[in-house]
């Protein structure tokens, strides 16, 4: 009799436990389905934000950035211009108008972007400007911009900017990209691979004829433009980072740009 009672109680306990177990399981199931609902919503939001992001990226490539504008203009001048590029150009010129209010009104950068002499990069930290001198030693006008650019092309090198003999400023490589201008060199702080963190500027002048006062004037404006966009710690000559190998900028008076 006692045995039967014990068995009976045992059965009740087992059944009871089973009920509790299953009812908990039920709750869990409900919770899971709620969670998966949340998950669906989260995914939906993620998808939307991804779309917003990609739209933002599209806007960026549509010419909100200076870089995109530059490329648009160059591409157009090469004859590949499409409707999209024209739209980009419009977006860019609006942007540039805003910029000009802050920049020196008589300072203009002319784009002649090179297809050689650099590697694409993004997010590099620029803290150095290297000044160079350059001239055409192949005959004819030693200050001929086209010939000088042709020489760069033949060597597969390029600066970011050129201050031409007529004091016009040309951009050949965008700041964000790594231009091949410094070669084997070493900073006063011991760093090598100077191209990676620097901007290179070539001034068109010879070993016997230093920069003109108009060139110094343009260079000063270019330096302040660059310093407005990057935290520049060093402005050095090529000869400072490659002594013995390089002696440019030639006949350069540092006092005129400092
Ligand atoms: Zn140099």
For residues 88 and 68, is the Cβ–Cβ distance under 8 A? yes
> What count of residues does the chain have?
258
- Token pair of 146 as six digits: 């086209």
Cα 53 to Cα 48: distance, rounded to the nearest angstrom: 8
Does residue 18 register a pLDDT over 90? Answer: no
Active site residue 51: no
Task: Determine what percent of the chain is predicted with pLDDT higher than 70.
Answer: 59
pLDDT recorded at residue 104: 64
Q: Which one is catalytic: 71, 73, 142, 202?
A: 202
Range 109-256 classified under CATH 3.10.129.10 = no
For residues 251 and 134, is the Cβ–Cβ distance under 8 A? no
Over residues 180-185, the mean pLDDT reads: 97
pLDDT recorded at residue 174: 98
- Token pair of 37 as six digits: 């609902």
List all residues 6 or more positions away from 147 whose beta carbon is below 8 Å from its beta carbon.
Answer: 136, 138, 140, 141
Going by the DSSP 8-state scheme, the letter that residue 188 receives in this structure is T
Distance 167 CA to ligand 1 centre (A): 18
Distance 67 CA to ligand 1 centre (A): 25
Over residues 64-85, the mean pLDDT reads: 32
Over residues 221-250, the mean pLDDT reads: 98
Distance 104 CA to ligand 1 centre (A): 27
Sheet holding 169-171, edge to edge: 109-111, 169-171, 161-163, 198-204, 128-134, 234-237
pLDDT recorded at residue 24: 42
Distance 144 CA to ligand 1 centre (A): 17
Segment among 47-51, 150-154, 219-223, 254-258 with least mean pLDDT: 47-51
CA-wise closest residue to 76 among 65, 90, 55:
90
Over residues 232-254, the mean pLDDT reads: 98
Q: Where in the chain is the domain with CATH 3.40.80.10?
A: 109-256
pLDDT-based confidence at residue 105 (cuts at 50, 70, 90): low
């Amino acid at each position: 009799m006692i045995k039967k009672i014990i068995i009976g109680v045992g059965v009740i306990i087992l059944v009871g436990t089973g009920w509790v177990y299953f009812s908990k399981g039920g709750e869990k199931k409900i919770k899971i389905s709620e969670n998966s609902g949340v998950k669906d919503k989260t995914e939906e939001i993620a998808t939307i934000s991804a779309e917003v992001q990609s739209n933002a990226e599209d806007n960026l490539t549509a010419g909100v950035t200076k870089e995109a504008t530059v490329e648009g203009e160059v591409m157009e001048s090469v004859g590949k211009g499409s409707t999209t590029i024209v739209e980009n150009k419009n977006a860019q010129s609006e942007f540039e108008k805003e910029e000009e209010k802050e920049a020196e009104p008589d300072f203009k950068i002319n784009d002649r972007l090179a297809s050689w002499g650099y590697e694409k990069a993004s997010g590099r930290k620029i803290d150095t400007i290297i000044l160079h001198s350059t001239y055409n030693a192949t005959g004819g006008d030693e200050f001929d911009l086209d010939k000088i650019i042709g020489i760069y092309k033949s060597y597969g090198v390029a600066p970011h900017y050129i201050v031409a003999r007529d004091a016009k400023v040309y951009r050949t490589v965008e700041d964000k990209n790594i231009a091949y201008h410094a070669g084997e060199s070493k900073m006063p702080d011991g760093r090598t691979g100077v191209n990676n963190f620097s901007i290179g500027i070539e001034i068109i002048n010879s070993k016997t004829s230093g920069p003109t006062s108009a060139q110094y004037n343009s260079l000063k404006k270019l330096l302040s433009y660059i310093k407005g966009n990057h935290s520049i710690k060093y402005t050095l000559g090529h000869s400072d980072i490659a002594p013995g190998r390089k002696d440019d900028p030639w006949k350069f008076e540092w006092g005129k740009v400092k």
